[in-house]
Structure formats: C-alpha cells, structure tokens
Amino acid sequence: MWEAGDRMCGKLLAAVMKDLVEALERHGELQSAGGGAALLLEISPSSIDRLLSLATGGGDLQPQRSSSRPPVASRVRF
C-alpha cells in the first residue's frame, strides 16, 4: 500500500486508503481474503507510521538534507 501510495506518510496514506484499496481491487492488484481490506480501512495514521518504521529499518521515510553546510540564517550577514 505504501509503494502504491507513492511512499506517503501515514497521515496522508490513511486519508486516501479507501480510494487506494478500491482502485487496487478494481485493477486486480489487491485480493483481500478474510476482511483484510476492512482492516486496512481501520488502521490509524500513527499505526501506519509505526509499521512503516519497522518495515523500513527504523529510518526516516523521507530523504534528509545534507548537513554539510550550515543553515541559511547563519550564513547571511547583515
């Protein structure tokens, strides 16, 4: 689901989960057995983030900026 949702955060993924599940089922990409789709629709954004953290090795999901340069505010002189 996370890959199909373009790796969005849990808050955004939870907001579009219903549409995403319906689209994937319609195109034959998701076959839910035993109410799996219903469970996907009930999951909270924070639970999604916790599960993604475990699945991705606990690292941040978004790329981080390089810290080799100081922030802009410290480089500007007045």
* Per-residue pLDDT reduced to its tens digit, 13-69: 999 999 998 998 888 888 877 778 888 889 999 999 999 888 777 655 555 555 566
- The answer to the question of residue 13 being in a domain is yes
Using one digit for the tens of pLDDT, what is the confidence trace for 32-42?
A: 777 788 888 89
Whole-structure pTM value: 0.61
- The answer to the question of residue 33 being in a domain is yes
pLDDT of residue 33: 73
Integer Cα distance of 1 and 22 in angstroms? 12
Domain ranges, residue 31: 1-57
pLDDT of residue 59: 55
- The answer to the question of residue 75 being in a domain is no
pLDDT of residue 44: 94
- The answer to the question of residue 36 being in a domain is yes
**Count of domains in the chain?**
1
- The answer to the question of residue 67 being in a domain is no
- The answer to the question of residue 47 being in a domain is yes
Would you call 41 exposed, middle or buried from its count of C-beta atoms within 10 A (0-12, 13-18, 19+)?
Answer: middle
- The answer to the question of residue 64 being in a domain is no
